[in-house]
């Protein structure tokens, strides 16, 4: 085995902060929705709003970081090994087959992950951010002029729908972290920056 550097310090910071904020936003959001009571409605709204602003700041900084460092290149879609990757997730990993794609510092995401994460960044997160801001500032002069006659209920429904999609992604994402070389190897890599791979593994290739 050899250790390969995968994640930078900022990537690890960004990943864990984003995960914590999304979980907290979901928690306070469902309390606002009336699913349970812990903080109380007013505090839940205040906490939700504060966490949303922090997440917006993190998103803005991560966009800047991705474009200044070239990190955005990891999300460029590719069809190379896409079918093999899908087949691996559907059946190969349950049979103990080798992973079709080797992760490296220059290629951190497999073809399927690229598509999923790109969709998350370009569709789901923007939907959540835009619907959240519209909901937050609904009724103000500027927002009223932009959205016209769109009902608050419609905005809230879209925001909640996006929250369920985000939570579904989170559940699948957590499960997929257990499908590495060992159940905790992927999580360890996100904590330490390094991942152990087999030097003699010739069946795997990297994507660039």
Tell me the per-residue pLDDT of 141-191, one tens digit each, with 9 for 90 and over. Answer: 566 656 666 788 888 899 999 999 999 999 999 998 888 778 888 898 899
Q: Check if the beta carbon of residue 55 is closer than 8 Å to that of residue 22.
A: yes
Q: Check if the beta carbon of residue 22 is closer than 8 Å to that of residue 166.
A: yes
**Which letter, b or e, does each residue of 109-127 get, where b requires 16 or more Cβ atoms within 10 Å of its Cβ?**
bbbbbbbbebebbeebbeb
User: What's residue 135's pLDDT?
Assistant: 86
Q: Does position 21 have pLDDT exceeding 90, yes or no?
A: yes
Q: Does position 29 have pLDDT exceeding 70, yes or no?
A: yes
Q: Does position 206 have pLDDT exceeding 50, yes or no?
A: no
What is the 3-state composition of the chain as percent helix, strand, coil, each rounded to the nearest 5? 65, 5, 30
Domains of the chain (ranges; CATH) run: 2-197 (1.20.950.20)
User: Percent of the chain beyond pLDDT 70?
Assistant: 88
Q: Is 2 left (phi over 0), alpha (psi -120 to 50) or beta?
A: beta
> pTM here?
0.83
pLDDT confidence bin for 116, thresholds 50/70/90: very high
Average pLDDT score, the chain: 85
User: What's residue 201's pLDDT?
Assistant: 45
User: What's residue 203's pLDDT?
Assistant: 41
């Amino acid at each position: 085995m050899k250790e390969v550097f995968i994640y930078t310090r900022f990537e690890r910071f960004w990943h864990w902060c984003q995960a914590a904020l999304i979980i907290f936003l979901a928690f306070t959001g469902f309390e606002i929705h009336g699913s349970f009571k812990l903080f109380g409605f007013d505090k839940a709204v205040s906490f939700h709003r504060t966490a949303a602003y922090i997440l917006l700041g993190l998103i803005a900084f991560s966009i800047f970081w991705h474009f200044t460092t070239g990190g955005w290149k990891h999300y460029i879609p590719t069809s190379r090994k896409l079918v093999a990757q899908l087949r691996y997730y559907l059946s190969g990993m349950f049979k103990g087959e080798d992973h079709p794609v080797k992760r490296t510092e220059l290629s951190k995401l497999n073809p399927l992950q690229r598509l999923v994460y790109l969709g998350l960044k370009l569709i789901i997160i923007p939907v959540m951010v835009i619907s959240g801001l519209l909901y937050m500032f609904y009724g103000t002069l500027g927002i009223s002029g932009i959205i016209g006659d769109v009902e608050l209920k419609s905005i809230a429904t879209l925001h909640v729908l996006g929250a369920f999609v985000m939570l579904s992604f989170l559940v699948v994402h957590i499960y997929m972290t257990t499908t590495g070389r060992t159940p905790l190897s992927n999580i360890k890599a996100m904590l330490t920056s390094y991942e152990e791979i087999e030097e003699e593994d010739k069946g795997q290739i990297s994507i660039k």
